Structure 1
Amino acid sequence: METLLTFTPSFPTFFLMFLFAYLFAFFVIFRNWSPKHRSEASSCLMSLTHGTPAVIMATHAIIQAPTPRTFASPNVTGQNFVLEFSIAYFVVDLLHYMVFHPNDVLFIAHHLATLYVFVTCRYVVHHGALAILVLLVLAEVTSACQNVRSLVSLMKADVPTAKKLYEFLSPPFYVFYSVSRGILGTFVVYKMGVFYVSGAANNMIPRWAWISWMVVIVSAVLISILWVLNLWKEWYRERSHRAQKKVK
């Protein structure tokens, strides 16, 4: 039987891997960048090493899970592996925000809430990873596009090519993000809520666990929807402004 709240060797390995990626980016790749953008660029590069690999590993873990699969199925080794991979990433990125952006309460709260769900699922409840990994796939499938867009946004004021790439990437990213988190994410969260409220998870996932998970997940989805809606508004405003300038 697994010991509760005991980290397996994979967690420290992943933690050191992400820490190395961040420090390598900070002290080598972006060493000549201004202090204003250096830490943020390092965080984006580290996020690139997490997002797409997490999607691939999580998808594989979901497919390979024993049947029947439910939102209350016991966690299997592959699922725990992905959870620890993501826990390590969020711990390192949380340290980044606490050191360089301590006033960014929203992102710090997001990382703490995400870690709460992942850690309790992996080390306390030992069930329910299937649902968490499905949401992880939907959240991280846009990571590559989002982080490249974020990196070029840091350069767009000084590099014309970066500005053009930022403008090119923004609309497809907004569409991709809206579909993955706004539509598919909302659907999965709805299915989770129906499953848990029906009592199908009784005797496998404690009520306090799934209720707290749903509070965190619903809040995250709502914030994501509001965030992308705000991006759409800014994009539309900029397009309208450019159109007006052409008319004049």
Structure 2
Amino acid sequence: MNSPISISSIPHLPLFFSMFLTIYFTAHFLIFRTWTPKLRPEASSCLISLAHGTPAVLLASNALISNPTHTFSSPNTDSQNTVLEYSIAYFLMDLCHYLIFNPKDILFIGHHLATLFVFVTCRYLVGHGAYGVLVLLVLAEVTSFFQNVWTLSNALRAESKVAAQVFDVLSPPFYALYSVVRGFLGPVFVYRMVGFYLSGEADGVIPRWVWVSWVSVVVSAILVSIVWIWNRWVDLYRERIDVIDKEKKVI
């Protein structure tokens, strides 16, 4: 059995963390220095999220394609471990952000801790199962770019007409994409994942408590995502109804 820790990949985690730390500080003290103290941390968090999301999707997709014979219990390849470390570094950095600026946001802090548990155990504890974890990473981050633009425009729309317009135009397609990915594709893939693990094919390399923990984290994240996007659709519907009512009153 290959060692789950590759000597050649050990420097990647501190390197990636230093990169995200630099991006965060650059955003906070240079790019968004004229923004209000309330918005600067959130904008900086969005910037490191942008630096993680799309690159993580591309890196994970490449790592998956380069190993077409993978299963849910296959040994992690070096490229898959690199992607895991890239994501571990991002979530560690963003977790620091929340602990400092939003320590009461238990939902996001819990999400980051749970995600880190999955990535860390996959990368450093069992050294297997990166296939399923990275597919879920792709599904989670494929909407990252749109979500961060949406978040920034939402934060600024009260002060900027351009931001308000971006928010209004972006919301429906973003909600639709998010609904398909988190509400359909994610659950279908998790169903396949659970079926594989229940068959016992991974018992020799991934302890049962590990994959049960992974599935619990993923299912919880999907349920929270579904509730979140449902609330966004409700908000959008109410906003559109309010606009129609105002137009009727003017007429």
The answer on 1:26 being equivalent to 2:28 is yes
Q: CA deviation at 1:180?
A: 1.1
Paired residue type of 2:28: F
Q: Provide Cα deviations, 1:100-120, integer angstroms capped at 9, x if missing partner.
A: 000000000000000000000
Q: CA deviation at 1:49?
A: 0.5
1:114-163 per-position Cα deviation (integer Å, ceiling 9, x unaligned): 00000000000110000000000010000111111111222111111110
Shift of 1:2: 3.3
Q: Deviations over 1:32-77 (max 9, x none)?
A: 110110100000011100000000000000000152x211111000
Deviation at 1:189, TM superposition (A): 0.8
Q: Which residue does 1:52 correspond to in 2?
A: 54
Q: Identical aligned pairs, as a percentage? A: 56
How many Å apart are 1:241 and its aligned residue?
1.5
DSSP 3-state at the match of 1:171? helix
Secondary structure at the counterpart of residue 204 of structure 1: coil
Secondary structure, aligned partner of 2:38 = helix
The aligned amino acid for 2:62 is H
Q: Which residue of 1 aligns with 2:73?
A: 72
Shift in CA distance, 128/31, structure 1 to aligned 2, threshold 3 Å: same
TM-score relative to the length of structure 1:
0.97
When the two chains are superposed, the root-mean-square deviation of aligned CA atoms in Å is: 1.4
User: Is the Cα contact below 8 Å between 2:50 and 2:145 reproduced in 1?
Assistant: yes
Q: State how far apart, in whole Å, the 1-side matches of 2:60 and 2:28 are.
A: 28
Shift of 1:3: 6.7
What's 2:208 paired with? 207
What's the CA shift string for 1:157-178, capped at 9, x where partnerless? Answer: 1111110111111111000111
- Report the count of equivalent residues: 247
Match of 1:244 in 2: 245
Q: What are the equivalent positions in structure 2 for 1:66-105 lying under 5 Å apart?
A: 67=69, 69-105=70-106
Runs of at least 4 residues off by over 3 Å: 1-7
Q: 1:138 to 1:239 in 2, by over 3 A?
A: same
Candidates 34, 38, 41, aligned match of 1:39: 41
3-state DSSP class of the match of 1:35? coil
**Which shows bigger deviation, 112-121 or 176-185?**
176-185
Q: How does 1:1-248 map to 2 (within 5 A)?
A: 2=3, 8-65=10-67, 67=69, 69-248=70-249
SS at match of 1:201: coil
- Which structure 2 segments of 5+ residues have no match? none
Residue 62 of structure 2: SS of its match in structure 1? helix
Is there any run of 5+ residues in structure 1 with no aligned partner, and where? none
- 1:2-31 CA distances to partner (integer Å, 9 max, x unpaired)? 376998100000000000000000000001
- Indicate the larger mover: 162-171 or 6-15: 6-15
Query: Can you list the C-alpha shifts for 1:175-197, whole angstroms capped at 9, x where unaligned?
Result: 01111111101111111111111
* TM-score, length of structure 2 as denominator length: 0.95
- What amino acid is the match of 1:245? K
